Amino acid sequence: MPADPTVPDLTTQPRPVYVIGAGPGGLAVAAALRARGVRAVVVEKSDAVGASWRSHYDRLHLHTTRRLSGLPGLPMPRRFGRWVARENVVRYLEKYAEFHELELVTGVEVTRIERATDADGEAGGWTLHASGGRVLAAGAVVVATGFNHTPALPDWPGRDGYGGRLLHAAEYRDPTPYAGRDVLVVGVGNTGAEIAVDLAEGGAARVRLAVRTAPHIVRRSTAGWPAQRTGILVRRLPVRLVDRLGALVAKASVPDLSAYGLPRPATGLYSRVKEGAIPVQDVGLIDAVRRGAVEPVAAVAAFDGDAVVLADGSRIAPDVVIAATGYRRALEGLVGHLGVLDERGRPLAHGARTAAQAPGLHFTGFTNPISGMLRELALDAERIAKAVARRGGAVRGRRRVG
């Protein structure tokens, strides 16, 4: 396939560090590398930075504070407020790339990464295969394609024959199209909880929330103290201790919603975090459940024509089902052949660490830390840049692409 003449030919450039993905993680790494004199090129398959943030629902605000969410070298503006709105996150990422004069190539998708070999057959550096038949030579690679990469929709029995409308939460923007309608939201993570509240406040006739496992609910802020700061303080403590502390805090600050169909969870908060389940930050869910505006129901078991069959055997017939059922990392095609992923498709090594068989191949943004994703991306960026600069495996200096 001939190369697209409208896209810069990267193959003529020296071997830089290639950063795959122009979300906050990729931009932060590129800026941190540039600050250390290491040339980095960010390759993004969409046409702009922050693609995933552009597609999130309108109501979304950061659950982490502005002060603890800035990336290296540029704090978020105070005018964004304490809890930064989605559209302001996008503005910040655009400004961040401009401020740091990052080398950014959009509209190019990297599809496969392989070890490169020199004339003697020795491994050294990396080869990236990209759209348009491009083959790119890299001194090192940072994969930052995102925690929320590919929407995951469970293969429920009868799903394909469902007579109502079924969509993933990735397609949800605002409640306007659902005014006056009966909506079932599946999944009680932060996304599902917030969409349910958004629908209830936006005029949906009925909103039900299908719950498989009772979540830990925490206040986003208590007496001015954000939950994120607690997450930072406790993440190095023993799991059992944090579980006990979390239970005490929950009893003091979060009402028991068992009578409304949302009981307290049976397992500890930090135990669940270690399994990958982040607490739900309350942005209106508690009040909506207590008012009956959002009705918790059992998990979805199957679909049967126009009906949804729940795990408790009951059947309901909503007009719309919105599945807030998470995402896949979708790294298998990119790096699955390198032996760097675990059985769940997650990187075996993260941040500054690399797998023994893949030196110079880094991953960032593939965890969901209790201390805040953006904060950890910023820390990871500095660590990765330090490790890459120390190895000296990339071409120094900067040159514009294009």
When the pLDDT of each residue in the chain is averaged and rounded to a whole number, the result is 91
In which band, very low, low, confident or very high, does the pLDDT at 314 lie, cut at 50, 70 and 90?
very high
Cα-based distances in Å from 334 to 2, 86, 127, 338, 339: 22, 29, 12, 9, 11
Specify the pLDDT at position 123: 61
CA distance 301 to 321: 13
Specify the pLDDT at position 400: 36
Tokens 């059947």 -> residue: 315
Q: Is residue 400 domain-resident? A: no
Q: Tell which of 305, 323, 341 closes a domain.
A: 323
Same domain, 269 and 297: yes
Specify the pLDDT at position 14: 63
Same domain, 312 and 167: yes
Q: Is residue 71 domain-resident? A: yes
Q: Tell which of 278, 298, 323 closes a domain.
A: 323
* Average pLDDT of span 364-391: 94
Same domain, 387 and 238: no
Same domain, 110 and 247: no
Specify the pLDDT at position 15: 82
Same domain, 157 and 260: yes
Q: Is the pLDDT of residue 1 over 50?
A: no
What would the pLDDT profile of 85-135 be if each residue is shown by its tens digit?
A: 999 999 999 999 999 999 999 999 999 999 997 654 456 799 999 999 999
Q: Is residue 105 domain-resident? A: yes
Q: Tell which of 267, 297, 323 closes a domain.
A: 323
User: How would DSSP label each residue in 201-252?
Assistant: HTT-SEEEEEESSPPPEEESEETTEEHHHHHHHHTTS-HHHHHHHHHHHHHH
Q: Is residue 143 domain-resident? A: yes
- Which domain does 236 fall in, by range? 151-323
Same domain, 155 and 303: yes
Q: Is residue 205 domain-resident? A: yes
Specify the pLDDT at position 393: 47
Specify the pLDDT at position 395: 44
Q: Is residue 257 domain-resident? A: yes
Same domain, 72 and 193: no
For the chain, what is the domain count? Answer: 2
CA distance 140 to 81: 37
* Average pLDDT of span 10-16: 60
Put simply, whether the predicted model's pTM sits higher than 0.75 gets the answer: yes
* Average pLDDT of span 371-387: 96
CA distance 267 to 215: 9
Q: Who wins on pLDDT, 12 or 367?
A: 367
Specify the pLDDT at position 102: 97
Same domain, 135 and 158: no
CATH number for the domain harbouring residue 187: 3.50.50.60
Specify the pLDDT at position 396: 45
Same domain, 314 and 338: no
Specify the pLDDT at position 147: 83
* pLDDT above 70 coverage of the chain, percent: 93
Q: Is residue 397 domain-resident? A: no
Same domain, 98 and 48: yes
Specify the pLDDT at position 13: 46
Q: Is the pLDDT of residue 365 over 50?
A: yes
Same domain, 144 and 71: yes
Q: Is residue 141 domain-resident? A: yes
Same domain, 165 and 279: yes
Q: Is the pLDDT of residue 4 over 80?
A: no
